[in-house]
Each structure stands twice: as C-alpha cells, then as structure tokens.
A and B are shown apart, each in its own frame.
Chain A
Amino acid sequence: MKTARNYLLTASLLIVVGLSISCATQRQHHNSSVVDYLYPGKSDPIENAAIPVLSLPIKVGIAFVPGSEQTRTGFTTNFSAPMTPPLPEKEKIALMKEIGDNFKKYPFVKSIELIPSAYLSPGGSFTNLDQLRTMFGIDVIALLSYDQVQFTDEGMLSMSYWTLAGAYVVRGEKDDTNTMLDAAVFHIQSRKMLFRAPGISQVKGSATPVNLSEQLRTDSTASFHDAAKDLVVNLQEQLELFQEKVKSSPEEFKVVHKPGSTGGGGMDAFWLILVSGMGAYTLWLRKNHN
C-alpha cells in the first residue's frame, strides 16, 4: 500500500514537473530605442528645437540606434531553445539599404549614407549625431530602432514599444515573431524631428520542438524584412504629408537651395557682343545690297 502510494506521489510529481516545463511561458526580446539613444536618463525628454533649414538637395543618413541587451523571460530549462542572436550588423546594413533604395528616387535627396552601428554610441544623443553630421556630411538622419519579441507559448503577452510619438502594443500568439521597426527622421542641426513612421510585422510560428531554434532565427530575419517593407510604405506616406506641411507651414520649415541645384541657361556679354557683330555686319550688307 505504502509502495503504491509512493508510486502515485512520484507519478504526480513527474506530471506536475512535466506540465510546468511544457507550459512554461517564454519570450525572447531584443530591442533598441530612439528615446534611450537621444535622451539617455531623461524621464521627460524635452529638447528645444530650432527652425530647421532644409538645404536642398539633402544628404540623408540612415542608422540603427544602439540596441539594449536581449532578454528572455519565462521558465527556461536546459532543453529550451537557445536565444536567437540580436540583429547582426550585416542584416542591419541590408535593411538600411532596402529602406534607403526607396528614397534615392526623390530629387530633393542628393545621397543616402548607410552608417554602421559602430559610429553610434549608446546614449550618444545629439552630440553623437553632430559628430555623424561632420563625419558623413549629412543634413538629415533617419534613426531606425526596433523591437522584436518571439513568443514560444500562448498567453497574455504583448510587445510594447515606446516611441517619441507614443506607445505601440502588439499582442503575441504562440511561436509568433512580432517585429516593429521605427524610423524617426531628424534634422540634425536644428534637432527637430521632421517625421516618423513605423513598420510592423507578425510572422506566424510554424516551428516544431525539434527545429525550434533554427525556425526562430529564420522567422526573426524574415520578420525584420517584412517590417522594413511596411516601414518603406509608411515612410513614403509620411514623406508626402511632410512635403505638404513644408509648403503649408513656411514658418516651421525653411527651404533653401544649395548652389548648383538651381541653374539657368544664361547668355552673357560675350554672346551679346558676338551676335551684335553679326547683326551689324548683316545690316551693313543690307545697306550695300540696296
């Protein structure tokens, strides 16, 4: 009887432990934040922006703001899938190129510089941006930040991303990869944010426990690229709105044209003297002809 009770107790214990492992809620999270980069240690970020003078055509920089450490929450065991690595530099460059290529077509964009992460220091703020402005000769910078969460269980989990314009909350489902890319475009000299746009992606989970870590990595990359595509569409919309705003609010934005961007076919005294000579000869010929 006692033996039977021991067996029952052991079995119950194993079931409880097993259930704990299989039902444990896990979440992998890596992110970077524009707010943390520009306003480190400030709970209420206020920056006095000057009136931006947009000198057309502009040189635009694109950079990912430094990321924070990746975290994993929930119950983990030795059998848990290893954490997917944060966004590698190669992927960052590929994403920046993907976004930048869509803005080269605009005539007011002179060039686009892809700025490697090594040039951005964590919490570097506008001092760091001023350095980038000098180093790369850029006028405007699109600061990209991201937030990616990978859920490995169902629950009330959600991803909350705090941007300069407010918080975004995205619900998470089992094995989903939720990604949010955010682009905030700043005029560096005036410290003014010109416009911003988000890009959101949700890749539905299809992993089995066998290939979980590999699938999570694949989903992570795919989700970043999907979010980049969404970001491009939203950025273009915001850019259109911004152009209208610049036209309708000249007191808020000053637009000037760089030397060489406006040109004219101009005749000068040389041409006038030359053709005047020809004209005078023609008149003289006419007089003699008559």
Chain B
Amino acid sequence: MATQKSQLRDSPIPVWTLTMIAAGILAYVIPGSAPLIVYDRAAILSGEVWRLITGNWVHFSLSHLVYDSATLGIVGWMIERRAYPYYKSLYILAPILIGVGLFAAQPDLQFYGGLSGIACGAVVYLSLHGLREDGPWRWFCLTVLLLTSGKIVLESLTNGFAVVTVDNIPFAPVPLSHVLGALTALLIFCWPYARDLMRLKSPVSVREM
C-alpha cells in the first residue's frame, strides 16, 4: 500500500457534512417531523420504506443530537478537507445499509434514530485513509482505528452500556448501527483496490498489458 503525504485543502466548506447535520437539526426542531421519518418497523412493514433511510436523521434528545452532530461534524470536516475519494458514497450508502441492516438483523428493534452509525463509518473511513499517509498522522489514525474497533466490539458484547429514558421511551444504544457504518466505510475504502484487482485479472487487461 503506497503511502502519501497529507493533502490539506484550504477552506473548502464541508457541504456534504453540513447538509447531513442540518437535516438532523431540522428533523429535531420542526414539530411533527420526527414521527413521519423515524425508523418505525411497523410503519416500514406497512410500506413506508423511506423510514429505513430517514431514521438516521431523527434524534430522541438534545444530547443525542449534539453528540452525534458534533462527532460527525468534526470527522466529516476532516474527510472533506482531505478530499478522500468516494467520501460522498459514504454519506449516500451508509444510511441505506444501516437502515436495511437493522431491519434485517434486529427484528426486535421497533424504533431507531441517530446519525451515529454514519458518524462511526466516517471515523473508520478517515482512519483507514490515514493509514496510507506518512508521519504521525498515520500512527494517530492506527490508534483511533484500534480504539474504535475495540469500542465497537465492547458495545456489541455488552449490547450497549445502558438503557436510558428519553421522553418516557426506554432508549437503548444500538451497536449494530456502528458495525454497519464501519462496514460501509471499509467497503468504500476497499472498492478502488477491488476494482483495480478485477481489471488486472480480466482478459482484456491482460491483452492490453
């Protein structure tokens, strides 16, 4: 894997990241919007399939919104600033894969909301790209990646640390959303390598060589 120097771009506005956060804030502040877009398994089964995706932008409390938005904001800013390839795919694919994955693998979950799956995916995506860079940043990213992996494993083993009550709704962390976010990041990170590998193995490529 070839290493490269950090390529920091000056003052690009992280449009995609800000859009994601703004959507989350709007869903929280506009009265009556959250019930229409929250991941609601019963409603999804009744045909309201958009909830699989839009549920990622619903938050159940202010602290929930602040933590998720702040984490995604910082990581997203770093990703867009470095202009890593396919980062837009992460923002498009992660909400879909998280929604569909939760629906398929966690039938007990009736309601879900939060940007953290996408945020977790962004952390993994940033760290994986950081491994290709020179200098201390590479080691920084390796440490973050190891800590993130450890945290995800720990969350999955304990199935979330605690059950808290928000607006009389018992609310539990969903580690699977973090796993799905991380897997999406890994998929997008590996995609260029997989594509190059396929090109090399194809007969056309061999003839061309």
Q: Which of A's residues lie within 8 Å of B, judged by CB?
A: 56-57, 105-108, 110, 256-272, 274-279, 281-282, 285-286, 289
Contacts and interface: CB of A to CB of B under 8 A. Distances in A.
A262 B168 CA distance: 11
11 contacts: A107-B45, A107-B107, A262-B60, A263-B173, A264-B116, A264-B171, A267-B71, A268-B67, A278-B75, A279-B74, A289-B8
Contacts of A281: 136-137, 140
Interface in B147-164: 147-148, 151, 160, 163
B109 A275 contact: no
B42 to A, nearest CB: 5
Most chain A CB atoms below 10 A, which of B136, B172, B181: B172
Contact of A265 (B78, B81, B126, B178): B178
* Residue among B98, B111, B147, B181 with the highest chain A CB neighbour number at 10 A: B111
B110 A272 contact: no
Interface in B138-192: 140-141, 144, 147-148, 151, 160, 163, 168-174, 177-178, 181
A285 B111 contact: no
Contact of A278 (B56, B78, B117): B78
B53 interface: no
Given A264-B172, A267-B68, 7 more contacts: A263-B172, A265-B56, A265-B174, A265-B178, A266-B67, A271-B67, A281-B136
B110 A257 contact: yes
B194 interface: no
Contact of B70 (A107, A265, A270, A272): A272
B9 to A, nearest CB: 10
B209 to A, nearest CB: 39
B195 to A, nearest CB: 28
Contacts of A56: 110
A282 B81 contact: yes
A275 B71 contact: yes
Contact of A282 (B8, B71, B109, B174): B8
A279 B70 CA distance: 11
B90 interface: no
Contacts of B41: 107
Contacts of B118: 265
Nearest to B63: A266
A271 B115 CA distance: 13
B8 A260 contact: no
B137 A276 contact: no
A279 B66 CA distance: 17
Nearest to A260: B172
Given A266-B67, A266-B68, A274-B148, A261 B119 contact: no
Given A271-B119, A275-B71, A264 B110 contact: no
A269 B67 CA distance: 8
B8 A275 contact: no
Contacts of A108: 42, 110
A150 B173 CA distance: 58
Contacts of B132: none
B110 A57 contact: yes
B131 to A, nearest CB: 13
A272 B116 CA distance: 11
Nearest to A108: B42
A285 B141 CA distance: 14
A262 B171 contact: yes
A285 B6 contact: yes
B108 A265 contact: no
